[in-house]
Amino acid sequence: MRIEQLHYLLELYRTRSFSKAAENVFITQPSLSTAISGLEDELGVKLFERLRSGVYPTPMGEEVVKIASELVNCEARIYEAVRAAQPPDKIRLMTIPAISFGVLLELMTSFQKDYPEVNLELKEFPPQIITDAVVDELTNVPGTFALVPIQPKTREEVLAQLARDNITSTHIFSDNFVAHMSGKHPLASEDVISIDDFLAYPSIELNLLTKTPDNTAYNRLYMMGNTVGRRRLKERTHIEVDSLAHVKHLMLSTGTHVVALPRLIASGDRDYESGDIIWRPFVNGDDLSVDYYLIYSSLYPLKPIEEGFLNAIVAYFDQLSTGIEKGDL
């Protein structure tokens, strides 16, 4: 018997419908049916009557539901007790390397001015997928948040999986992939860049992004370019690197290489502020969008200091969005 089976049992009892219960717990109806049938087989009793008019608990089902409700409440109290016993004075923010550290450091420095007693930790994790290890840290380490980019193609699937893992997702920022280059690049004089012009130059590919199974900017650039542009993408010279520092060094040293990355990369970066590196939007750039979500465990309520951190992040990125709309980024 697994605790999630008891959660499914209670939701089925509440809704009296396999389809509604499955939707509410973010699993398929066959998976829910299998879980309930497995529980019945393990206990050796029938818990529900399946009728055309709905699903109804048997007398034994009523008894099991009462006990299951107590066990689920105990589970919640266990998490709360463990959480309450652990030091609350540390906030950890996990993110992928491609998100500007200038942005995050400014955010965390500002937060620490308001909460000087709180220790802050900034931790990177590989962006290929939101791994089980990341979910485990969000679940088991108090005060842990993760800032993650989710692209439109996989948004619904990723958010549904996070919900199944008892992870809350809060949308905080929308961005677009744009062309980044040296301020001396031949395309620097253009206000907007076509996909084909971008593809005409040698590129830098940041492995931390392009090796993901998600729909990357390069995949979408390929699909958006015309026939000539697609041929250029296949044939053109490119360099693969593993860090943003290497990306910036190559752009500055060669003057000709380009890279497609989110605008957020440029925020708070001295090389962009000085004009040594610039970015330009693509024609039809809205097709290259990415959304950022702050994710954290929903197994227990946020403490006041954690709510303060969540609110600080939301407010910071609201201000950043306003700056982008005004052209400040």
C-alpha span between 93 and 68 (Å, rounded): 35
Looking at the predicted structure, is the pLDDT value of residue 188 above 90? yes
Residue 288, amino acid: L
Ranking 120-129, 177-186, 189-198, 294-303 by mean pLDDT, the lowest is 120-129
Q: What is the pLDDT of residues 32-48, one digit of tens each?
A: 999 999 999 999 999 99
Looking at the predicted structure, is the pLDDT value of residue 14 above 70? yes
pTM of the shown model: 0.63
DSSP conformation class of 282: B
- Among residues 283, 241, 285, the alpha carbon closest in space to that of 262 is found at 285
Per-position b or e across 194-214, b if 16+ CB within 10 A of its CB: bbbbbbbbebbbbebbbebeb
Mean pLDDT score, 111-138: 77
Predicted pLDDT at 86: 60
Is the Cβ–Cβ distance between 49 and 55 less than 8 Å? yes
Residue whose structure tokens are 């006990």: 67
Domains and CATH numbers, the chain: 3-85 (1.10.10.10), 90-329 (3.40.190.290)
Residue whose structure tokens are 């942005």: 103
Predicted pLDDT at 102: 65
C-alpha span between 240 and 259 (Å, rounded): 11
C-alpha span between 26 and 47 (Å, rounded): 22
Distances (CA, A) of 192 to 81, 85, 108, 183, 286: 55, 55, 33, 14, 13
Question: pLDDT higher for 139 or 285?
Answer: 139
C-alpha span between 289 and 175 (Å, rounded): 6
Looking at the predicted structure, is the pLDDT value of residue 83 above 70? no
The helix-helix angle for 217-224 and 227-235 (nearest 10°) equals 140
Predicted pLDDT at 13: 92
Largest CA distance in the chain: 78
C-alpha span between 166 and 253 (Å, rounded): 46
Q: Binning pLDDT at 50, 70 and 90, where does residue 223 land?
A: very low
Predicted pLDDT at 48: 92
Give residues with Cβ within 8 angstroms of 121, minimum separation 6: 90, 91, 92, 93
Question: pLDDT higher for 294 or 153?
Answer: 294
CA dihedral 219, 225, 227, 233 (to 10 degrees): -50
Predicted pLDDT at 214: 42
